[in-house]
């Protein structure tokens, strides 16, 4: 019964300061009463009693400040002593009834246990007094004891009732206190998390800004690299052309240099010639890889018979096979389906793989196999060479990597062939891989899709019927939705824009038309996100744009002037385009292919060494040509007007008037228009992507000023981004 919660018990106590104040007030009253007494002895006793109250109050106050429990117990003892002293001095037994006050104060100052201890102490004291003092009658003792223990019982009942009511409240209070503490903790954690999040956000913002800056630097570096590659290739091709051309002349026509050359010199010249051709091939590979990286390589897809590609590749490497006495097995089914791909690029892939297999195989043979597999064709090239180590197999397709073993490095090569093969195959949405076991050989595989996804051949009208009763599906379709491609309708009277957009056919869908009427007809059955209009004449652009905008007022139209690709332009204006280095054989074959007799040849090049080289190539035997030279386009035109030539061999990069400008001026002159031209240049212009000098945009009802402003801002932002970063 006396077991209580210590915290609740402490909260039920009152402060002893009130009792101290009462003692002080009582001392003041006694002091005032002493002044009213005439009896000096009685007056002194009362004042001593008041001073005792003052001393007790001061002692209790001091002890309460330092030792809480001791001050309260001293207060109870002092009160009991005062009651006993009053009884002893006044000889009034009824004063003992005041013994209930210490019992009551013990309950409110200390607790129930203190009440019990006080009641027992007072009982013992009363019993001692009744035994030693005859003036204390038993009735007074009994009344005092009843009052003491009655008060104890009352305090016990009161505390029990209070505890029953307060304990649930206290538990709720503690629960609320714990919840508040936890809330404070969570709040602190949340504030810390918010602070960490803000810090992380700041760091992320800074990293994003740095990443954007680094991206711009990388894009600028990519442009610089492309320009550097083109510049270096041009600079390399010109001296290589000189070296290859002169060494070819020395080996094939030594008589022009005064006699036969020694076998050792011929062998050394052969080594020089072979290494220069290797360097020339490496330059071409680097250019191909650079064009692939920047997205300037366009695939010219058509239906191709892979068996013919394999045969053409085998014909090139057959002399190497015969020299090494290697067997060759072709396992190509007769019913192998045709593949929709770029024939030149896939033939280059096969040639690279077969050439590598022959280079690294000294005995045994090569096996080339092609097998259909579902909607793909898998081509494999297997050899019986030394194989590839696992550590090399993981990175063998990286540019310039040639393997860790000495065997790979001893075989020569640029280390770009497999990387270019991988790029070409992946541009066709294919896959290339290898399987190898050291000492037993290697097999390279590549897989190509047979055909691109076919568009639907019929519209949705074939499913619609007036008599068909509509009903809900009983189950949802399990077929996942196909990815939605944006559709672009091309209206191009030249027919040149659609092939140039082939690299983006995997992300976008294109519809090719030739005129506004055909475009309008297509849009009646199909929808398009945008219409791209192209023409090669600026005079026709605006009329075509107005005509198309009137016919299709609800579709945006983007118009441009993409000139005729250089391939078609070359077919119309020049007989051939030779990329340096050019050998004498290449030059004679190109001249022979001109469909007219050629005796007089004009060489137009600003490099005197090239003039000497080509002159030597054309004047080495009995079928020599009559050669004249010019250092620039203006001089060449003057020379042609004075002495017309049968053929012009012309460079592109020249001062004052470049090759294209000279070609345009020549075609404007009726007396010079029919003279055939063969271009000999270090720049391979056939791989340059088409560009448009203008961009026009419109939609049927026109643009409001707000939409015009927004489109202008968006368009300016897109135009300032680097090329090929939008798709």
The tens digit of pLDDT for each residue in 152-170 reads 788 788 877 777 777 787 7
- Looking at the fold, whether 18 and 155 belong to one and the same domain comes out as yes
- Looking at the fold, whether 66 and 140 belong to one and the same domain comes out as yes
Given this model, what pLDDT does residue 42 score? Answer: 60
Judge whether 392 and 364 are in contact, CB under 8 Å: no
Given this model, what pLDDT does residue 302 score? Answer: 82
Judge whether 561 and 694 are in contact, CB under 8 Å: yes
Q: What single DSSP character describes residue 190?
A: H
| CA distance to 189, 192, 214, 513, 611, per residue, from 202 (Å) | 19, 15, 18, 52, 64
Answer with the one of 142, 172, 202 that is the final residue of a domain. 172
- Looking at the fold, whether 432 and 406 belong to one and the same domain comes out as yes
Q: What is the pLDDT of residues 376-423, one digit of tens each?
A: 999 999 999 888 888 777 788 887 665 545 444 445 555 677 888 888
Report the alpha-carbon distance of residue 386 to residue 404 in Å, rounded: 13
- Looking at the fold, whether 401 and 444 belong to one and the same domain comes out as yes
- Looking at the fold, whether 431 and 508 belong to one and the same domain comes out as no
Single pTM value for the model: 0.48
Q: What single DSSP character describes residue 138?
A: H
1 located within any domain: no
Report the alpha-carbon distance of residue 578 to residue 647 in Å, rounded: 14
What's 583's domain CATH number? 3.40.50.2300
Q: What is the pLDDT of residues 654-712, one digit of tens each?
A: 877 878 788 888 888 888 888 888 888 877 665 566 777 788 888 877 888 888 888 88
Given this model, what pLDDT does residue 1 score? Answer: 45
Share of the chain above pLDDT 90, in %: 3
Q: Give residue 514's domain range.
A: 484-560+703-727
Judge whether 432 and 416 are in contact, CB under 8 Å: no
275 located within any domain: no
Report the alpha-carbon distance of residue 171 to residue 162 in Å, rounded: 14
What's the domain count of the chain? 4
198 located within any domain: no
Structure tokens at 299: 């695939």
Report the alpha-carbon distance of residue 684 to residue 475 in Å, rounded: 59
The H-assigned helical ranges of 435-583 are 497-500, 516-525, 538-551, 566-573
In degrees and rounded to multiples of 5, residue 669 shows phi and psi of: -95, 115
* CB atoms inside a 10 Å sphere around CB 623: 8
- Looking at the fold, whether 540 and 419 belong to one and the same domain comes out as no
Structure tokens at 555: 């579709």
- Looking at the fold, whether 11 and 153 belong to one and the same domain comes out as yes
Answer with the one of 172, 199, 215 that is the final residue of a domain. 172
* CB atoms inside a 10 Å sphere around CB 400: 12
* Pairing state between β 626-630 and 600-604: parallel
601 located within any domain: yes
Tally of CA atoms within 13 A in the half-sphere of 455 that contains its CB: 13
CB-based contacts of 99, cutoff 8 Å, min separation 6: 80, 83, 122, 126, 144, 147, 148
Judge whether 46 and 30 are in contact, CB under 8 Å: yes
CA 607 to chain centre: 48
How many residues would you count in the chain? 727
In degrees and rounded to multiples of 5, residue 509 shows phi and psi of: -110, 130
448 three-state secondary structure? strand
In degrees and rounded to multiples of 5, residue 386 shows phi and psi of: -75, -10
Report the alpha-carbon distance of residue 604 to residue 648 in Å, rounded: 7
Long-range Cβ pairs for the range 178-186 (8 Å, 24+): none
408 three-state secondary structure? helix
- Looking at the fold, whether 49 and 168 belong to one and the same domain comes out as yes
413 located within any domain: yes
- Which H or E element spans position 301? strand 301-304
Structure tokens at 283: 């330059």
Report the alpha-carbon distance of residue 57 to residue 82 in Å, rounded: 12
What's 405's domain CATH number? 3.30.565.10
Q: What is the pLDDT of residues 321-332, one digit of tens each?
A: 888 888 889 998
* CB atoms inside a 10 Å sphere around CB 331: 12
- Looking at the fold, whether 391 and 512 belong to one and the same domain comes out as no
Give the closest residue to 380 by CA, choosing from 327, 318, 431: 431
| CA distance to 289, 351, 359, per residue, from 420 (Å) | 6, 12, 18
Torsion of CA 298, 303, 309, 312, to 10 degrees: -90
Which residue's structure tokens are 């096979």? 321
- Which H or E element spans position 628? strand 626-630
Answer with the one of 140, 172, 204 that is the final residue of a domain. 172
- Looking at the fold, whether 674 and 718 belong to one and the same domain comes out as no
Judge whether 618 and 625 are in contact, CB under 8 Å: yes
In degrees and rounded to multiples of 5, residue 576 shows phi and psi of: -160, 165
Given this model, what pLDDT does residue 414 score? Answer: 58
79 located within any domain: yes
Largest CA distance in the chain: 171
Give the closest residue to 493 by CA, choosing from 556, 457, 539: 539
Give the closest residue to 563 by CA, choosing from 573, 553, 555, 549: 573
Which residue's structure tokens are 């240099």? 257
CA 491 to chain centre: 36
18 three-state secondary structure? helix
Kindly give the parts of the chain with pLDDT less than 50. 1, 7-11, 404, 406-410, 454-464, 466, 468, 477-482, 725-726
Given this model, what pLDDT does residue 560 score? Answer: 86
Structure tokens at 30: 């006694």
Long-range Cβ pairs for the range 249-254 (8 Å, 24+): 249/584, 249/616, 249/617, 249/620, 252/584, 253/620, 253/621
Exposure string for 502-518, b = 16+ CB within 10 A, e = fewer? ebebeeebbbbbeebee
188 located within any domain: no
- Looking at the fold, whether 150 and 66 belong to one and the same domain comes out as yes
CB-based contacts of 101, cutoff 8 Å, min separation 6: 79, 83
Given this model, what pLDDT does residue 684 score? Answer: 67
The H-assigned helical ranges of 91-137 are 100-109, 112-132
- Looking at the fold, whether 555 and 582 belong to one and the same domain comes out as no
267 located within any domain: no
| CA distance to 70, 115, 258, 311, 449, per residue, from 351 (Å) | 107, 110, 40, 10, 19
Q: What is the pLDDT of residues 305-320, one digit of tens each?
A: 888 888 888 888 888 8
Helix 584-592 to helix 138-252 angle (10° resolution) is 70
Given this model, what pLDDT does residue 443 score? Answer: 92
Structure tokens at 375: 């909607």
């Amino acid at each position: 019964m006396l077991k209580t919660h210590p915290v609740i018990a402490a909260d039920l106590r009152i402060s002893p300061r009130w009792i101290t104040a009462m003692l002080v007030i009582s001392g003041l009253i006694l002091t005032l009463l002493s002044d009213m007494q005439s009896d000096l002895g009685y007056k002194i006793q009362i004042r001593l009693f008041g001073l005792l109250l003052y001393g007790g109050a001061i002692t209790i106050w001091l002890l309460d400040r330092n030792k809480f429990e001791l001050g309260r117990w001293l207060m109870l003892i002092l009160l009991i002593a005062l009651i006993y002293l009053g009884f002893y001095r006044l000889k009034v037994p009824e004063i003992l009834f005041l013994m209930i006050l210490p019992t009551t104060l013990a309950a409110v100052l200390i607790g129930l246990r203190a009440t019990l201890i006080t009641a027992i102490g007072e009982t013992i004291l009363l019993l001692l007094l009744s035994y030693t003092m005859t003036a204390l009658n038993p009735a007074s003792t009994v009344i005092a004891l009843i009052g003491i223990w009655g008060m104890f019982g009352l305090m016990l009942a009161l505390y029990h009732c209070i505890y029953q009511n307060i304990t649930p409240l206290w538990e709720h209070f503690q629960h609320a206190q714990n919840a508040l503490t936890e809330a404070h903790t969570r709040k602190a954690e949340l504030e810390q998390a918010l602070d960490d999040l803000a810090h992380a956000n700041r760091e992320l913002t800074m990293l994003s800004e740095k990443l954007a800056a680094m991206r711009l630097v990388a894009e600028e570096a990519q442009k610089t690299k492309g320009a550097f590659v083109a510049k270096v290739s041009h600079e390399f091709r010109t001296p290589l052309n000189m070296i290859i051309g002169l060494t070819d002349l020395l080996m094939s026509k030594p008589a022009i240099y005064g006699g036969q050359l020694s076998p050792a010199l011929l062998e050394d010249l052969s080594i020089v010639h072979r290494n220069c051709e290797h360097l020339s091939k490496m330059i071409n590979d680097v250019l191909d890889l650079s064009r692939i990286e920047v997205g300037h390589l366009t695939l010219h897809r058509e239906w191709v018979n892979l068996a013919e590609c394999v045969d053409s590749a085998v014909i090139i490497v057959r002399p190497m096979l015969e020299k090494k006495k290697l067997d060759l097995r072709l396992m190509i089914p007769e019913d192998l389906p045709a593949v929709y791909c770029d024939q030149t690029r896939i033939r280059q892939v096969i040639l690279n793989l077969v050439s590598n297999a022959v280079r690294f195989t000294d005995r045994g043979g090569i096996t080339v196999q092609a097998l259909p597999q579902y909607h793909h064709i898998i081509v494999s090239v297997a050899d019986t060479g030394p194989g590839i180590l696992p550590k090399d197999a993981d990175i063998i397709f990286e540019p310039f990597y040639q393997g860790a073993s000495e065997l790979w490095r001893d075989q020569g090569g640029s280390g770009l062939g497999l990387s270019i093969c991988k790029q070409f195959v992946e541009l066709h949405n294919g896959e290339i891989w290898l399987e190898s076991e050291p000492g037993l050989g290697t097999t390279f595989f590549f897989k190509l899709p047979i055909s691109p996804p076919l568009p639907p051949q019929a519209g949705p009208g074939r499913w619609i019927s007036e008599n068909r009763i509509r009903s809900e599906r009983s189950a949802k379709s399990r077929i996942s939705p196909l990815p939605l491609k944006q559709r672009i309708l091309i209206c191009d009277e030249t027919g040149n824009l659609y092939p140039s957009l082939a690299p983006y056919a995997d992300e976008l869908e294109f519809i090719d038309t030739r005129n506004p009427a055909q475009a309008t007809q297509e849009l009646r059955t199909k929808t398009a996100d945008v219409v791209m209009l192209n023409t090669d004449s600026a005079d026709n652009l605006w009329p075509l744009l107005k005509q198309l905008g009137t016919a299709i007022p609800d579709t945006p139209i983007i118009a441009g002037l993409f000139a005729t690709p250089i391939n078609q332009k070359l077919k119309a204006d020049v007989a051939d385009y030779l990329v340096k280095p050019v050998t004498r054989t290449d030059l004679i074959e190109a001249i022979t292919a001109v469909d007219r007799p050629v005796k007089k040849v004009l060489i137009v090049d600003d490099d005197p060494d090239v003039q000497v080289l080509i002159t030597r190539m054309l004047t080495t035997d009995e079928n020599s040509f009559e050669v004249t030279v010019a250092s620039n386009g203006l001089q060449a035109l003057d020379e042609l007007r004075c002495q017309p030539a049968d053929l012009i061999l012309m460079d592109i990069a020249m001062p004052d008037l470049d090759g294209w400008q000279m070609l345009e001026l020549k075609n404007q002159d009726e007396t010079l228009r029919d003279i055939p031209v063969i271009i000999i240049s270090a720049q391979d212009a056939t791989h340059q992507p088409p560009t448009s000098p203008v961009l026009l945009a419109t939609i049927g009802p026109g643009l409001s000023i707000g939409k015009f402003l927004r489109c202008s801002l968006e368009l300016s932002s897109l135009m300032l981004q680097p090329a090929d970063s939008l798709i």
